[in-house]
Amino acid sequence: MVTHPIDKRASSCAWLALGVTAEHRERDSGNNVGESLGTVDLYWIPLGAGAHVVRISGKVFEAVSALIQRRGRCDLYHSALVVSLPEGHFVIEQAPIPDLNGERRGVVAEGPVGTRWAGRFRLFRYEVRCWREGSIPDIQDAIGSPVRLVDDLNHARRIIHLLPSIPTPVWGRDELDTGEMWNSNSVTSWVLARSGVALWTVHPPSRGRAPGWNAGLAAAAPSTVA
């Protein structure tokens, strides 16, 4: 099945409602979400927490990277965001495309995986989600999470409005010449940085690493934004 990129700047995408699991709502109640009306939480999820193949391939990737860079091995993490607004909870995450019903998951952008040529096929494409009442896979395995990054309604809304304009380079490649490949962590760091979140104190859990995070930061810098 051949698929085509969606218009990630379509105005209808900007107001896609998103959501999160009942578990996150319980956590919200303890964080006084109602008082601020707008919050943004970051989740650090161990890479491949619920997928054996992904976990093994991640360990191989990290072993090779550590050898080349002459450093110790780290635990790898995948990141996702939950934006809470008066009208609902918004899950922001990059993931593979499971089917052609992207509107059900609030998809605002798509991009190719591996190569642009292969991206003509759904199997080799990723999607950026803004999913109302959606869920984050393996959220129960998140470490040191949630991390509260924003406690301001206008700022939280800014993240939602910015997301459809995210760049969509090839996943796993460095098309933007940032020195690091683009992946799900790049999506997270890009939208946070572009919205003005201070990220110099934001890091993965102890002994952890989030490949692609710096690519998003570099792409979000004013000098690289068209």
Q: What is the pLDDT of residues 129-181, one digit of tens each?
A: 999 888 898 899 999 999 999 999 999 999 999 999 999 999 999 999 999 99
On the question of pLDDT at 21 being above 70, the answer is no
The pLDDT of residue 221 is 92
* Measured torsion, CA atoms of residues 91, 89, 22, 143, in degrees rounded to the nearest 10: 50
**pLDDT tens by residue, 198-220:** 999 999 999 899 999 999 999 99
pTM: 0.78
- Tell me the CA end-to-end span of the chain in Å, nearest whole number: 33
The separation between CA 35 and the C-alpha centre of its own chain, rounded to angstroms, equals 26
Contact 128, 160 (CB under 8 A): no
User: How many CA atoms within 13 Å lie on the side-chain side of 141?
Assistant: 13
Please tell me whether residue 38 adopts helix, strand or coil conformation: coil
Between 104 and 26, name the one with better pLDDT. Answer: 104
Please tell me whether residue 201 adopts helix, strand or coil conformation: coil
The pLDDT of residue 144 is 94
Phi-psi region of 48 (alpha: psi -120 to 50; beta: other; left: phi over 0): left
Name the least confident of 24-28, 66-70, 77-81, 97-101. 24-28
Q: Is 133 exposed, middle or buried (0-12, 13-18, 19+ CB in 10 A)?
A: middle
The pLDDT of residue 14 is 39
Locate 170 and state its tokens.
Answer: 């090839």
Q: Closest Cα to residue 180, out of 212, 219, 210?
A: 212
The pLDDT of residue 23 is 43
On the question of pLDDT at 33 being above 50, the answer is no
Name the least confident of 23-27, 72-76, 104-108. 23-27
For residues 32-58, average pLDDT: 69
Mean residue pLDDT of the chain comes to 82
